[in-house]
């Protein structure tokens, strides 16, 4: 079996978008995730001259097989009024960037409010953007009226659409799924309720918060409350062909990579 794996990388460097491949090359990874703009501002980011081409060129000569854009944290597809319009526009912008860059997936947190509104807003963003990139809704840790905490909610969000799901292990654990003790059982449930064929991307993070705590705080692999449960998860043959993205501080990339490779080799 073979999984693809890599990290979320910053685009703050001199090479902008293409910089993520410099990091992937240095680390020897096969998947990348990036923000196409600042994730905590509504401001759009205009690519510099040649930046799109540099990204495509760097990808063509490297080993990265899956690329993912993570949408802005401000996006709330369940919002109303101006916040809703801004959210749809921001997400459509990320989908357009993904199409320009040749990025396969855009991942977004559904937001809070009514589930049906989230579904509709996601469809509106897709309708505004060029076809090509697939939009994935990420499960969340919980809190407030957030949508997408349970697999059942995710299934309802994507039912009858072309949407997929991004499965974040930290968020699932914080939402009460026992990945520390029964990772295979959690995968069974994800498959039964959502369908693993609709989950092409997995955010592989350990959790600093306890099971069911609702706390969204990522920990380095093996150092959080999920611990060795993640080792069993990544060796599950049902993850074959999936892209695993780690979302921990860049300073720990080498350490997390060493842990992941040790786990995968220990199969």
Are 91 and 69 in contact by the 8 Å Cβ rule? The answer is no
Rg (CA), the chain: 17
Q: How many residues form the binding site for Zn ion (CB under 5 A)?
A: 3
From the list 9, 66, 134, 171, the catalytic residue is 171
Q: Would you call 203 a catalytic residue per the annotation?
A: yes
Which residues make Cβ contacts (< 8 Å) with residue 82, sequence separation at least 6? none
Q: Would you call 218 a catalytic residue per the annotation?
A: yes
The verdict on 149 binding Zn ion (CB under 5 A) reads no
The verdict on 203 binding Zn ion (CB under 5 A) reads yes
From the list 23, 104, 153, 168, the catalytic residue is 168
The verdict on 8 binding Zn ion (CB under 5 A) reads no
The vertex-111 CA angle with 204 and 151, nearest 5°, equals 55
Residue 124 vs 138, nearer CB to Zn ion: 138
CA–CA distance, 219 with 201 (Å, rounded to integer): 19
CA–CA distance, 202 with 233 (Å, rounded to integer): 11
The first and second tokens of residue 213, run together, are 């705590």
Stretch that binds Zn ion, among 77-85, 118-126, 162-170, 193-201 (CB under 5 A): 162-170
From the list 23, 93, 104, 138, the catalytic residue is 138
Smallest separation, CB 14 to Zn ion (Å): 26
Q: Would you call 247 a catalytic residue per the annotation?
A: yes
| SS3 state of residue 61 | helix
Contact residues: Zn ion, CB under 5 A: 138, 168, 203
Which positions are catalytic?
Answer: 40, 70, 73, 109, 138, 168, 171, 203, 216, 218, 247
């Amino acid at each position: 079996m073979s999984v693809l794996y890599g990290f979320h990388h910053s685009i703050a460097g001199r090479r902008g978008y293409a910089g993520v491949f410099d990091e992937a090359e240095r680390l020897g990874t096969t998947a990348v995730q990036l923000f196409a703009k600042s994730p905590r501002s509504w401001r759009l980011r205009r690519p510099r001259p040649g930046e799109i081409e540099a990204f495509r060129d760097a990808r063509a000569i490297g080993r990265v097989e899956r690329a993912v854009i993570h949408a802005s944290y401000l996006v709330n597809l369940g919002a109303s009024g101006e916040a809703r319009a801004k959210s749809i526009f921001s997400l459509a912008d990320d989908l357009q960037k993904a199409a320009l860059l040749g990025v396969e997936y855009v991942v977004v947190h559904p937001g809070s409010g009514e589930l049906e509104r989230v579904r509709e807003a996601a469809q509106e963003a897709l309708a505004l953007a060029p076809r090509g990139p697939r939009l994935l809704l990420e499960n969340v840790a919980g809190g407030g009226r957030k949508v997408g905490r349970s697999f059942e909610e995710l299934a309802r969000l994507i039912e009858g659409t072309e949407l997929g799901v991004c499965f974040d292990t930290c968020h699932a654990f914080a939402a009460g799924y026992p990945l520390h003790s029964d990772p295979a059982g959690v995968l069974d449930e994800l498959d039964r309720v959502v369908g693993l064929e609709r989950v092409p991307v997995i955010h592989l993070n350990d959790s600093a918060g306890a099971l069911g705590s609702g706390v969204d705080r990522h920990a380095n692999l093996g150092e959080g409350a999920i611990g060795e449960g993640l080792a069993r998860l990544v060796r599950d043959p049902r993850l074959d062909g999936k892209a695993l993205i780690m979302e921990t501080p860049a300073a720990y990339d080498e350490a997390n990579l060493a842990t992941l490779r040790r786990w995968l080799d220990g199969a």
